[in-house]
Structure 1
Amino acid sequence: MQGNSKSAEEGRSPSSALRAPSPREQGEGEDIAIVGGGIIGICAAAYLTEAGRNVTIFDRTGICEETSSGNAAAFAFSDVLPLAHKGMIRQLPKWLADPLGPLSIPPAYLPKLLPWLFRFWRAGRADLYEASLAAQVGMMRLAEAEWMGLLDRSGTRPMLREDGSLEFYESEAEFRASLPSWAARERFGIGFRHVEGEELAGLQPGLSPRFVKATFVPGWKTVADPKLLGKAVWAYAEGLGARFEKTRIERVDAGQDGATLTLADGTTRRARQLIIAAGAWSHLLAKNLGERIPLETERGYNTTLPKTAFDVKRQLIFSGHGFVITPLDTGLRVGGAVELGGIERPPNYARSKALLEKAKAFLPGLDPADGREWMGFRPSLPDSLPVIGAARNSASVIYAFGHGHLGLTQSAATGRLIRDLVLGQTPPIDLASFSPQRF
């Protein structure tokens, strides 16, 4: 799948069609190795191959086969409030009292989680609010611009859905509590309007009368299916010369002149530049390099129903219950919630079933039959901002992980930023707030 990029300013080197043999082909190891075949790694590969670089992605399962395959499919460009500022700390006692509620922490995991929760609490301080908000707004503006360009260049624009979203409230008190967050969005030009009555019913017929108001965001975007989009962008990068190798990376080491990857079979690969974009496992590789980054895993659950389950017009957001319903080309996805439980515990699909029961109550007439349950790992940092930047002890290694709920949304922006860092160009936004060393 080829795009329509025509200039270096759009990211692709004019001479990339006349590609020289790769360092690997010349027996010199990799030029650029990316650990992680999720949407962040895919977009980084696309931008780097457009710039004429030779790229190999290493992943244990495949391209867009794990967390990036099952998300809620939103381009959440207006979701600029860091989680620590969304009232989650205030809601914690109520949510934790319900083992199947919007946020769950397995009791046995709580001692390990406490340092992260403390950092999360600190990130919500009022004096940090404006800086966090500004950093997220800048990232989102870049993300929207970069995604629109990448969709066009990769020929994937038909996968974009521009139907807007609806966020619901079950009481006047819940609605009023949301107003400060909408005022913050309004400051940055994000469009929305509050709706009720007939207008609300027209935007989503068949909704339970328990919802008294909603906020409609007309600029909210989704994609036809996140897994299909990721694979299509990869096909574009592969057409430009990117390679994939299916293997588990057990360890990474680095110096100023390159990095070494140790594979599961004990063999090694050398790379001039290493990008760590391995999602919830990334901090373990960073630890090999002597860097401790406080990443935790939000385990997200969903059920994808047949398309005929209910006529959902656009993404529906039930923020008070921590989940969304998204119409996809491949089905109707009911998912969300947060379980802070690490990467080792088995899935608790009772959470998927609890979300589906709520969806049945919120959309009377929803057919819950024949659903596919899924669980994925969201790599989350306590201040809700990813790490994007060089490792402390080696400029040969660049981190690109920790996007939490916003991996799909921010992946094209991250790909652009990674390309700029690799090429030694000035990034379009200040990366200080995303520094791996900020902790």
Structure 2
Amino acid sequence: MTAEHVETDVVIVGGGIIGLSAAFRLAEAGRKVVLVERGELANEASRGNAGAFAFSDILPLASPGILFKAPKWLLDPLGPLAIPPREALYLLPWLLRFFRASLPDRVEASAAAQGALNTLAARECDSLVASAGLGAFVRADGSLQLYESDGEFRASLEGWAWRERYGIAFEHLDQRGLAELQPGLSPQFIRATFVPGWKTVTDPRDYALAVARAAETLGVEVRRGEVTAIIGGGDLQQVRLTGGATLSARHVVLAAGPWSRGLAASLGADVPLIAERGYNTTLLAGAFDLKRQLIFGGHGFVVTPLAQGVRVGGASELARFSAPVNFRRSQHMLAKAARFMPGLRTEGGVEWMGSRPSMPDSLPVIGRSPRARNVILAFGHGHLGLTQSAATARLVTDLVLERQPPIDLSPFRPDRF
């Protein structure tokens, strides 16, 4: 029996929000696109994330302040950043790069790059939502960053000054102003910052699947299969699947999230990409009269209003895919949320864990493979996959079409480490 062979313009590896958005834009530009996903579409981080277009989130996790917070967090197995002891040796090279990325000059460069990418993301998100007819999935209610003390608020001001440089609108509120925008919070929160340009989706997976439907309407073919190899070079790139099928394409886009590392390495990009786990609990509709997304920055989690209920989630756990799942983390966040939001009904919640693709400097990898210029890498967005999906789709499309990208891509190059 002869193995199947298919030729197309572009093969996209990965059916999360990054790959789906790129598929839509490339098909819109007239390219014949085949998207390959090993499982169900939008079934990993694109399924259970916090559902935010966090355009104002331009500061990297690696920052001078993290040097003081991280030791305390790492000693707390339920804290905002955790490393299971058995994972420490495996993660050491990544952690060394992470602490290097927290030096002041590197933080400034990372924030500038993230600011440029998120500014593009805000524009491209509006454009993609309009083009794909996704307006019903997007809410423009803003967000509230909450503070428990004047000291915590003052410590945040430098970050808000950074955001102001990029034209990000925000308003600092006292306790009365906070109560007007979100009644029912514990009085321990005495200040807040409101970001009107922050948006959320009714459900992140519903949004991603709507992008998929729009892409398929434009002719994108979705195939289920495990990619075993990408053979770059020459006029046609080869994508091999389990079972023997081969896809040939002028361009390949690798957008498989934390599963991208092995394939990227085979293409000459040995990137320090790890899986950063996030946990959440989605409560029933009516669990709390939530007006907009709440950000409990000092505790590493957010609370988001979704169509099906209230999602309490966040935190970071650095671990391999094979590490045991620790739902005590989601339970710990939920218990805190119940204290911070008196009246929150916590019964009937559904727990979830997913892996984000995380880079030490918080910047994604967007660029051409070192060994095959027609293989484009697009992964490593960390907490900002949904936020930066439309911008990444625009940049990938520009690379495929040989157009000049609207921002400098050198901070995101695959070989920067």
Aligned to 2:218: 240
In the TM superposition, 1:53-68 aligns within 5 A as 53-68=31-46
C-alpha contact 2:62 2:107 (8 A) present in aligned 1 = no
**Contact 1:280-1:343 at 8 Å conserved across structures:** no
2:160 counterpart of 1:182: yes
Greater mean alpha carbon deviation, residues 195-204 or residues 228-237? 195-204
Provide the secondary structure at the position in 2 that maps to 1:273: strand
Q: 3-state DSSP class of the match of 1:374?
A: strand
Return the alpha-carbon distance in structure 2 between the equivalents of residues 87 and 259 of structure 1: 44
Alignment match of 2:75 (pick from 93, 97, 108)? 97
> Are 2:6 and 2:246, in contact at CA under 8 Å, matched by a contact in 1?
no
**Structure 1 residue aligned with 2:326:** 348
Q: What does residue range 9-408 of structure 1 map to in structure 2 within 5 Å? A: 29-85=7-63, 87-408=65-386
User: 2-side partners of 1:162 and 1:37: how far apart?
Assistant: 26
Q: State the AA in 2 paired with 1:247.
A: G
Give the whole-Å Cα distance in 1 for the aligned partners of 2:324 and 2:217.
Answer: 37
* SS of corresponding position for 2:240: strand
Cα drift, residue 202 of structure 1 = 1.4
Residue identity opposite 1:29 in structure 2: E
Distance 2:125 2:166 in 1: 19
Q: Cα distance 1:292–1:237, how it changes in 2: closer, same or farther (>3 A)? A: same
Q: Is 116-125 or 43-52 further displaced after alignment?
A: 116-125
Q: CA deviation at 1:322?
A: 0.3
Corresponding pairs, count: 414
Residue 408 of structure 2: aligned partner: 430
What is the SS of the residue equivalent to 1:251?
strand
- The one-letter amino acid of 1:98's match is D
Q: Larger deviation: 83-92 or 288-297?
A: 83-92
Say if 2:54 and 2:384, in contact at 8 Å, map to a contact too.
yes
Q: CA deviation at 1:90?
A: 1.7
**1:86 shift after superposition:** 6.7
Looking at structure 2, the residues matched to 406 and 136 of structure 1 have their Cα atoms a distance apart, in angstroms, of 10
**Residues 229 and 263 of structure 2 are in contact (CA less than 8 Å); yes or no, is this contact kept in structure 1?**
yes
Cα separation, 1, equivalents of 2:321 and 2:181: 39
| Superposed CA offset, 1:273-298 (max 9, x none) | 11100000111111222321000111
Q: How far off is 1:271 after superposition?
A: 2.3
Instruction: Letter of the 2:235 partner, please give it.
Output: D
Q: Distance in 1 between matches of 2:49 and 2:274?
A: 17
Residue 30 of structure 1 deviates from its aligned partner by 2.7
SS of 2:415's equivalent in the other structure is helix
Aligned partners of 2:296 and 2:302: how far apart in 1? 6
| Between 87-96 and 302-311, the greater mean CA deviation after superposition | 87-96
Q: Provide, for residues 166-215 of structure 1, a one-character-per-residue CA deviation record: whole Å limited to 9, x for no partner.
A: 11111121111111111111222211122122221111111011112111
| Matching residue's letter, 2:194 | F
Unaligned residue ranges in structure 2 (runs of 5+):
none
Report deviation, 1:219: 1.6
Give the drift of 1:393.
Answer: 0.7
Deviation of 1:136 (Å)? 1.0
Amino acid at match of 1:359: A
Structure 1, residues 323-375: CA drift from partner, whole Å, max 9, x if none?
00000112111000000012221321111111111111110111111111111
**Can you list the C-alpha shifts for 1:142-163, whole angstroms capped at 9, x where unaligned?**
1010110111111111221111
- Give me the TM-score of the superposition, normalised by structure 2: 0.97
Quick one: distance in 1 between partners of 2:360 and 2:129?
31
The letter for the 2-side match of 1:189 is: G
CA distance in 1, matches of 2:284, 2:121: 31
- Cα distance in 2 for partners of 1:67, 1:288 equals 24
Give the 3-state SS of the residue equivalent to 2:367 in structure 1.
strand
Cα pair 2:66 2:102 within 8 Å, conserved: no
- 1:437 aligned counterpart, secondary structure: coil
Contact 1:256-1:395 within 8 A present in 2 as well: no
- 5+ residue gaps, structure 1: 1-24
**Could you tell me which amino acid in structure 2 is paired with residue 229 of structure 1?**
Y
Q: Percent identity?
A: 56
SS at match of 2:286: helix
If the length of structure 1 is used for normalisation, what is the TM-score? 0.92
Contact 1:168 1:318 in 2 (8 A): yes
Q: CA 1:70/1:261 → structure 2, altered by over 3 Å: closer, same or farther? A: same
User: Aligned partners of 1:331 and 1:61: how far apart in 2?
Assistant: 26
